[in-house]
Chains A and B, each alone.
Chain A
Amino acid sequence: MPSTPLPPPGPGSRRSRFAEKLLPGGTEPDPRFTLANERTFLAWIRTSLALLAGGIAVEAFTTDVFPEPIRRGLSVLLLLLGMLLSAGSAIRWLRVEASLRSNRPLPLPLIGPLLAAGCAVAAAVVIAVIVLA
């Protein structure tokens, strides 16, 4: 794909000034890679939305299960994790898109370890509460 000359840009492929600023230089990647990157971003966003929903649900539905400080702590932990993952997924999308443009290897997903560590902490809190109850 990069070796063939590009046809003149159509209405769907015109780059905005914002895009020129955030993703300067390089060459246009294969559009299938751009779409795959978008779908991966959306998968991360849905993961973050699941964490956000979990955080809200812990606070809204578990009044009789957890003592208040633990309930609030767990809820805030899940909500913060969801927020970090949302922002992180947009940053990752941008980094992958930049790598595609410059034909570099894809960056490591830093949000992966973040998700694993956050979920492990949340699970440990729940286990500790159940064991100590």
Chain B
Amino acid sequence: MNEEPATAPLPADGPLDGDPGLQPERTALAWGRTVLTLIAASAVCLRWLPDQGPFVLAMFGLTVAAGTGIYSTQRRRYRRSVEGIRAGHLAPDISAVFWTAGACVALGALGVWLVLS
């Protein structure tokens, strides 16, 4: 933890991360890796395009939308983590966790439906 008071404003420039363990940065990178894996997993579906038609594109589009949603909130997520570390408490990001897990379950369910149809 840093030595500054918890209420100190965030620096306008320079590194925002006040945590020696670089936890906000590592967490943001973990989200980034997850976006890449999500896109890669759904891109494999494109091999089905000649057999299954536009439905596969819709499936790919859904996961790309989920990935874009995560990517576009990365900056907010990182800043929120830094503020949480500085304040000493951080609300768990329930919606991000549930949306991500839901997108993966949906990808699997659509895959099962395609395999069995």
Partner-B contacts on A (CB < 8 A):
1, 4, 6-7, 9-16, 18-19, 22-23, 28-32, 34-39, 41-43, 45-46, 48-50, 52-53, 55-57, 59-61, 72, 75-76, 79-80, 82-83, 86-87, 89-90, 93-94, 97
Pull 19 A–B residue pairs with CB atoms less than 8 Å apart, ordered by A: A1-B88, A22-B94, A31-B89, A32-B21, A39-B26, A39-B27, A46-B33, A49-B40, A52-B104, A52-B107, A52-B108, A52-B111, A53-B40, A57-B47, A61-B47, A80-B112, A90-B100, A93-B97, A94-B94
Other-chain contact of A38, B19, B30, B83, B116 (Cβ < 8 Å): B30
Other-chain contact of B105, A50, A57, A86, A93 (Cβ < 8 Å): A86
Distance in angstroms between the alpha carbons of A42 and B31 in the assembled complex: 7
- Is the CB–CB distance between A79 and B84 below 8 Å? no
- Is the CB–CB distance between A49 and B104 below 8 Å? yes
- Is the CB–CB distance between B105 and A12 below 8 Å? no
Number of B interface residues in the complex (CB < 8 A): 50
The 9 A-B pairs at the shortest CB distance, nearest first, are namely A31-B90, A83-B108, A12-B83, A86-B104, A90-B101, A28-B89, A12-B80, A53-B41, A60-B47
